[in-house]
Structures are given as structure tokens and as C-alpha cells.
Structure 1
Amino acid sequence: MAQTPKQRKANEKFAKHEAAKRGKPETTVSKKSQKQKSPVSIGWVVLLAFVVCGGLAFELLKILPEIWSTITSFF
């Protein structure tokens, strides 16, 4: 079934309205180079590293005198 001029005009008006609601097509939008942001801030990464590595350092400091006494007892 062919469109009548009235239907064609209504379809064009509707398509224009829908396109305006969606915004510009992706091809006409200029993409700016944006720096990718990390989902985790640097402060949280530092805190996590301190918790993990700090715990390891405290355990080594706790074990170090025992290791030292064992080494010196051999000599």
C-alpha cells in the first residue's frame, strides 16, 4: 500500500521529532580524546597497599628476632 502525501508528511515529522529526542547521530558527534579514569581512586589503592604490605612488614619484624637468634645459635 502506497503512502499518501499526508502520511508521508506525518512520517517525516515523526521521524524528525524522534531524531531530535535521541540527539545527534554518532557520526556527526566529534569524539574528544578523554583520559580513562580508574574506578578506584589512588587513595584507596595506597590504603590497600599499606594494609597488605604493612601487615607483611609487621609480620617480618615480629619473626626477624627469632630468625636472628636461630642463625646466631649455629655459630
Structure 2
Amino acid sequence: MQAQTPEQRRRNAQFAKKNEAKMGKSEEQLRKRVEKVQKSPISMFWAAVLGFIVFGGLVFEALSRFFG
């Protein structure tokens, strides 16, 4: 058996801390907490970049068709 690395020890401590927070709570309480904590899968910066590419392209295309 090998000794734990400091990284494994740190992650095991984080896992234990997370599971201790769940102890004594019902599934309903845990589900409510998970729903509150969930973050968007894409940051606002990348959403803005994607919006600029899509809608900016549409605007430029409409302008080129209108004036061109």
C-alpha cells in the first residue's frame, strides 16, 4: 500500500468535508441546495462573444444586403 500524496490528502479532506455537510439532511434538502448552487455552463464573457459573432454577423449581413 502506498502513502497518500499531499494532493490526494487535500482532495480526501475536501470530500470528507462535503459529505459531513450532507449528514442528517433529507434528499429534498440536498436537492434544494444543489439547485441553488448550480452555475451556468458558460461564462458571461463567452456568451457575449458568441452573441456578438451570431448577431453581429446577422447585422453586418443585413447592412451589406441593404447598402450593397
If the length of structure 2 is used for normalisation, what is the TM-score?
Answer: 0.48
More helix by share: 2
Higher relative contact order (CA 8 A, sep 6+): 2
Bigger radius of gyration: 1
TM-score w.r.t. length of structure 1: 0.45
